[in-house]
Structure 1
């Protein structure tokens, strides 16, 4: 994810006959834009990380560790990748030598690719949340989530480390002028990278989100309780609550509705009837008989069903489209640039790299803000941040 830049204008200094490098208008626009993108990326992902640290409820849900991992990777992109690239742009030539370049490219490629892997893991996790139902909490444990995160990170790091070692010593990159991964000059590496870093994650994101939408739509088309018989479910919960010892803090609430279909906060999507079945088994509580809670099932109003289905489809479509827009151009251009370099201008190479980095800026908006608890923490953190300004006013 490293850039070449066109030679901008050089002016002759009359006093000492030295050349002074001056950024072109296009470079200045890109220069300012990259700093703004870096600030936005750092701010958004910092909010996610701070929310996770300060809120115990977020830490209790294993799936939120995916969002934390994604925020950490994107934070590194905003803190390291973008600023160093901007300093390179300002000087027109890579000023830090081969050692810093190799470290920078290794870190940049590793965290950027890991970001796509985590997005894939989030898509798989959301599918399991819908498909496994009551067994999801037993299946997706914190240990399993951390194993997936560290496993994909290790794979990304090893893959790019091997690429650096294998192609070290090749003459594809002049480190005195530019900084790129030497492997980009080898078609074998580029094709393999496209498959592992884009095609497989894209198939996972598209496939699992499509299946997820089908499952959501199928659930909406099925039997759902209406307000007409919601009191039946409340009675069932009240009966169950009376059988639980008073000294146990078990949170049974009838207010947890299917907010998945409204806000896509999948962790809060369980209906009252979907409460963790372990409470009954572990406490040796007898299940409530149908006679104690005679609820009938009826179909919801078509307008509500269509509204929820449309919102779920819109959300999932946005996730897929943004992922493809950010990653597809870079991978296509990388292959063309290797086969026929004359077909890829420097400005085009810049553009596809910017799109790729932009993914790190929008991920907090696409993923963390769909979680009600994260949104609540964002509001509280921003309120504290801007509170001194209100005092001054």
Structure 2
């Protein structure tokens, strides 16, 4: 429960305290950095998707939806938080405080729902990509419905809390009242932050297990020069079921059959050649040479067999890189929110120092700006798209600078 001091500070929209007089400047600096980096990074993510044809995939639509949720926070909400920290006072009034609290939890809820959709889509690609449900959900219409539903679900979840959004002096921002909104707020936090994020972790665990089993199966049934047709068929079935390198074994089987057909053709030509030269001086040698050619050509070319696994291994590596990036985004989200959630659960009476509450709340800010940095570091396509966009943005400034230097000289 809140004490009388907290209630008074709530009504006056003040979070001033001797313990945070110096700390507020750290909050202002951190908040300003998040605003700048998060706004530029998430705008670059949206522009990269819009301008680069190779990035316009159904999966990357989910990445863009996550960027829009972060952009809502970085462009609108984070500057307001910086102002509150700078003055240690909420200067927007009660109505804007309610709107701020609603938009804050809307942004967080859409981020969590999108993380669930990303993990689900990765799992469906690995385990059930040929099922009717997977094809429906991962279709263009299915993805559009899921994205619209993520925002509608967020609005429907947190709009009923409109009367209980108040100023929280412990973190110097607006949120829902800790006691007036119960038990509805408790249920929402459990559904989103514990059950929702738990499902994301479960999906990634299932992906890891499925990929590991499929990788072992692919190595076990990889066709060699002496492999039979039965083993090649078994390898094909295992690879397709995993969703990693579908069609690899089929391609290899076709290529091996092509080699065998070529060997049969060479054998026929050798026999025709031996029959056409029966009257020559050295017929025996000709037949022996033809037999040697036949034996040599009947052996499948090892280069052809090794090329296809290498190509599919590249596809497998690309899938793993993208999945690893998505899992890292999830871990960063959990890492940013876990200290704040655990502190609120452990300190129900608000006995912890205010500076600790503010610091844990500041860690949640980082979630809105860190994703573009992860995309740039772990995805080559986004990295290149960012560089191209930044190059185009800097080019006019470079031209103005060069023109000005030339004029001065």
Same fold (TM over 0.5): yes
| In 2, Cα distance between equivalents of 1:379 and 1:228 | 43
2:367 counterpart of 1:359: yes
| In 1, Cα distance between equivalents of 2:71 and 2:80 | 14
How many Å apart are 1:182 and its aligned residue? 3.5
Q: Give the structure 1 partner of residue 128 of structure 2.
A: 132
Determine if contact 2:343/2:357 at 8 Å carries over to the other structure.
yes
Q: 1:291 aligns with which of 242, 254, 257?
A: 257
Q: 1:385 aligns with which of 387, 390, 393?
A: 393
2:205 counterpart of 1:210: yes
Q: Give the structure 2 partner of residue 341 of structure 1.
A: 350
1:367-387 deviation digits (Å, cap 9, x = unpaired): 576444323211211222233
SS at match of 2:58: coil
| In 2, Cα distance between equivalents of 1:162 and 1:140 | 31
SS at match of 1:195: helix
Q: Give the structure 2 partner of residue 147 of structure 1.
A: 145
| In 2, Cα distance between equivalents of 1:360 and 1:311 | 22
Determine if contact 2:101/2:174 at 8 Å carries over to the other structure.
yes
- Higher gyration radius (CA): 2
SS at match of 1:180: strand
Determine if contact 1:48/1:368 at 8 Å carries over to the other structure.
no
- Shift in alpha-carbon separation, 1:158–1:313, aligned structure 2, 3 A: closer
Aligned residues: 320
1:281-306 deviation digits (Å, cap 9, x = unpaired): xxxxxx969734778799x89xx99x
Q: 1:181 aligns with which of 175, 178, 197?
A: 175
SS at match of 1:181: strand
* TM-score normalised per structure 2: 0.66
Q: Give the structure 2 partner of residue 35 of structure 1.
A: 32
User: Unmatched 5+ residue regions in structure 2?
Assistant: 1-9, 226-238, 261-303, 403-409
1:260-313 deviation digits (Å, cap 9, x = unpaired): xxxxxxxxx9647379x9xxxxxxxxx969734778799x89xx99x9699799
Determine if contact 1:38/1:83 at 8 Å carries over to the other structure.
yes
Determine if contact 1:42/1:79 at 8 Å carries over to the other structure.
yes
| In 2, Cα distance between equivalents of 1:28 and 1:121 | 37
2:196 counterpart of 1:201: yes
Q: CA RMSD in A?
A: 4.2
2:117 counterpart of 1:121: yes
| In 1, Cα distance between equivalents of 2:172 and 2:333 | 28
Q: Give the structure 2 partner of residue 101 of structure 1.
A: 97
Q: Give the structure 2 partner of residue 160 of structure 1.
A: 158
Name the one with the larger helix percent: 2
Q: Give the structure 2 partner of residue 240 of structure 1.
A: none
Determine if contact 2:23/2:355 at 8 Å carries over to the other structure.
no
How many Å apart are 1:126 and its aligned residue? 0.9
- Shift in alpha-carbon separation, 1:199–1:317, aligned structure 2, 3 A: same
How many Å apart are 1:62 and its aligned residue? 1.4
* TM-score normalised per structure 1: 0.68
Q: Give the structure 2 partner of residue 51 of structure 1.
A: 48
Determine if contact 1:44/1:361 at 8 Å carries over to the other structure.
yes
User: Unmatched 5+ residue regions in structure 1?
Assistant: 10-22, 230-257, 259-268, 278-286
- Shift in alpha-carbon separation, 1:62–1:212, aligned structure 2, 3 A: same
2:247 counterpart of 1:273: yes
Q: Give the structure 2 partner of residue 327 of structure 1.
A: 337
2:228 counterpart of 1:220: no
- Shift in alpha-carbon separation, 1:288–1:4, aligned structure 2, 3 A: farther
| In 2, Cα distance between equivalents of 1:178 and 1:390 | 42
| In 2, Cα distance between equivalents of 1:72 and 1:314 | 22
